[in-house]
């Protein structure tokens, strides 16, 4: 949201909302198709790489929280777990611009039951070792910032960072 002469102006538009609906519809169709046809392999092929749960760009950018179920059992239990993924994208004009590349990556690696559950903004300052999660997404709704914080805190790259969140701001 931008403030122009004390008037709040949304940073989304009708085209963005239509594109979010297209992405949601595509995920709905893909999720339905993969739940019917996916065979659950017990272990991944040797060349398979899991998708990192965190991909955030330095600075203050739009982010989305995505959930997805892994295509293979990675711990030998035979279980395919569902995880959350936090992604922000430098210069993403809309939240869908942050979501689409990660959704495509997850799909290309065989993940299923993919959902963009919400978003907001993330400010990553590596020099100060801080990450602040806040705001919301017009297209995907308010992200579960507490869940996003937990995902980031589990990532070894951000050990020692002060991670905070708030539902305030845009």
Q: Which residues are catalytic?
A: 95
Name the H helices within the chain. Answer: 14-37, 95-108, 145-154
Question: Known binder of ligand: residue 62?
Answer: yes
HEC secondary structure over 63-101: EEEEEEECCECCCCCCCCCEEEEEEECCCCCCHHHHHHH
Written as six digits, the tokens of 75 are 């711990």
User: How far is it, in rounded angstroms, from Cα 95 to Cα 30?
Assistant: 20
Task: List, in order, residues 6 or more apart from 117 with CB less than 8 Å away.
Answer: 64, 65, 66, 67, 84, 140, 141, 143, 144
Helix/strand/coil for 23: helix
Task: List, in order, residues 6 or more apart from 161 with CB less than 8 Å away.
Answer: 129, 130, 131, 152
Annotated binding-site members for substrate: 62
């Amino acid at each position: 949201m931008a403030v122009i002469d004390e008037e709040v102006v949304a940073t989304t538009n009708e085209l963005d909302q239509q594109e979010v609906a297209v992405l949601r519809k595509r995920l709905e169709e893909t999720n339905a198709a993969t739940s019917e046809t996916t065979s659950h392999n017990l272990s991944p092929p040797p060349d398979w790489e899991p998708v990192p749960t965190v991909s955030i760009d330095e600075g203050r950018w739009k982010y989305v929280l995505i959930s997805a179920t892994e295509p293979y059992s990675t711990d030998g239990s035979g279980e395919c777990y569902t995880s959350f993924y936090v992604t922000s994208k430098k210069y993403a004009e809309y939240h869908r611009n942050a979501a689409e590349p990660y959704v495509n990556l997850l799909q290309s690696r065989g993940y299923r039951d993919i959902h963009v559950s919400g978003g907001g903004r993330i400010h990553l300052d590596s020099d100060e070792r801080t990450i602040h999660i806040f705001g919301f997404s017009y297209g995907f709704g308010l992200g579960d910032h507490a869940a996003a914080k937990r995902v980031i805190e589990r990532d070894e790259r951000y050990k020692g960072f002060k991670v905070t969140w708030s539902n305030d701001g845009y």
